[in-house]
């Protein structure tokens, strides 16, 4: 048991450690390709998407890890996956729509670049919402190696594809965002298949009572994550305000 625990910790650590180390290489490349204003726009766009993730499904990641073993023990994983999928999809669509409405209604108070890239930001948010949920499933199933593989595919694939678009096809910040989106679109279907293999995700297995039970657990986690990402996002807006 201890040996497996240590091996899992080592594998999970790679998904955080390798991107952090790679940043020492990629950051100088990005700052040489983009002036500070464009680099800041890219960072702000990713932060907005991350904030929306925190607002939408971050708490459900913890809920997946909490409830998966119980549903597995009762052989009701069809209900679990169907309920999670429908619930998070509905919330994601609602938040995406609310984000669009908010951006249009208050566009004069928001950076123009943020409005320009809003469709890409919303698309990344939707795809990454699915990614977050089913990565949590891999953790619940103790698939540490598979988890790390998908995480590194997203980190390196998104940035690598984005840099290809920027360097060889004359894209700018939109190229980096498009690289992330295309990578998500490529790996999310595979992730969904791997995470739900052997189960059926269908509307008839959805249970409203289970959805409310899961949301009761997820809500406090979501509030904490929103507070954390909100602070990070507000810092970027404050810096942008004083810089301009």
pLDDT in tens, 75-87: 999 999 999 999 9
Confidence of residue 211 (pLDDT cuts 50, 70, 90): very high
Asked if the model's pLDDT at residue 25 lies above 90, the reply is no
Place of tokens 């809003």: 118
Question: Going by C-beta distance under 8 Å and a sequence separation of 6 or more, which residues neighbour residue 226?
Answer: 51, 54, 55, 58
Express each pLDDT in 97-156 by its tens digit: 988 888 888 888 777 777 888 889 999 999 999 999 999 999 999 888 899 999 999 999
In the block, tokens 């990641």 appear at 61
Q: Which of 25-34, 182-191, 202-211 has the lowest mean pLDDT?
A: 25-34
pLDDT of residue 218: 92
Could you report how far apart the first and last alpha carbons of the chain are, in Å?
55
Query: Which pLDDT band holds residue 212 (cuts at 50, 70, 90)?
Result: very high
The pTM of the full predicted model, rounded to 2 decimals, is 0.89
CA distances for 167 relative to 35, 123, 154, 172, angstroms: 15, 23, 19, 9
- Contact call for residues 177 and 124 (beta carbons, < 8 A): yes
Q: Is the dihedral of CA 9, 14, 19, 20 positive or negative?
A: positive
Mean pLDDT, the chain, integer: 86
Contact 84, 129 (CB under 8 A): no
């Amino acid at each position: 048991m201890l040996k497996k625990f240590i091996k899992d910790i080592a594998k999970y650590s790679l998904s955080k450690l390798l991107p952090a180390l790679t940043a020492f290489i990629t950051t100088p490349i990005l700052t040489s390709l983009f002036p500070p204003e464009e680099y800041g726009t890219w960072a702000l766009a990713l932060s907005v998407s991350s904030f929306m993730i925190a607002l939408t499904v971050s708490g459900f990641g913890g809920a997946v890890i909490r409830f998966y073993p119980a549903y597995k023990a009762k052989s009701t994983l069809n209900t679990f996956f169907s309920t999670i999928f429908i619930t998070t999809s509905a919330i994601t669509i609602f938040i995406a729509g609310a984000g669009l409405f908010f951006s249009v209604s208050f566009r004069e108070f928001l950076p123009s670049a943020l409005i320009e890239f809003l469709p890409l930001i919303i698309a990344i948010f939707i795809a990454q919402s699915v990614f977050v949920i089913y990565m949590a499933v891999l953790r619940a199933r103790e698939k540490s190696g598979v988890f790390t593989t998908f995480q590194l595919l997203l980190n390196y694939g998104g940035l690598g594809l984005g840099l290809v678009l920027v360097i060889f096809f004359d894209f700018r910040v939109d190229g980096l965002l498009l690289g992330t989106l295309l990578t998500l679109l490529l790996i999310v279907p595979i992730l969904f298949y791997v995470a739900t293999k052997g189960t059926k995700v269908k509307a008839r297995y959805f249970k409203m009572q289970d959805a409310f039970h899961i949301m009761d657990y997820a809500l406090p986690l979501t509030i904490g994550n929103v507070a954390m990402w909100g602070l990070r996002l507000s810092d970027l807006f404050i810096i942008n305000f004083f810089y301009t």
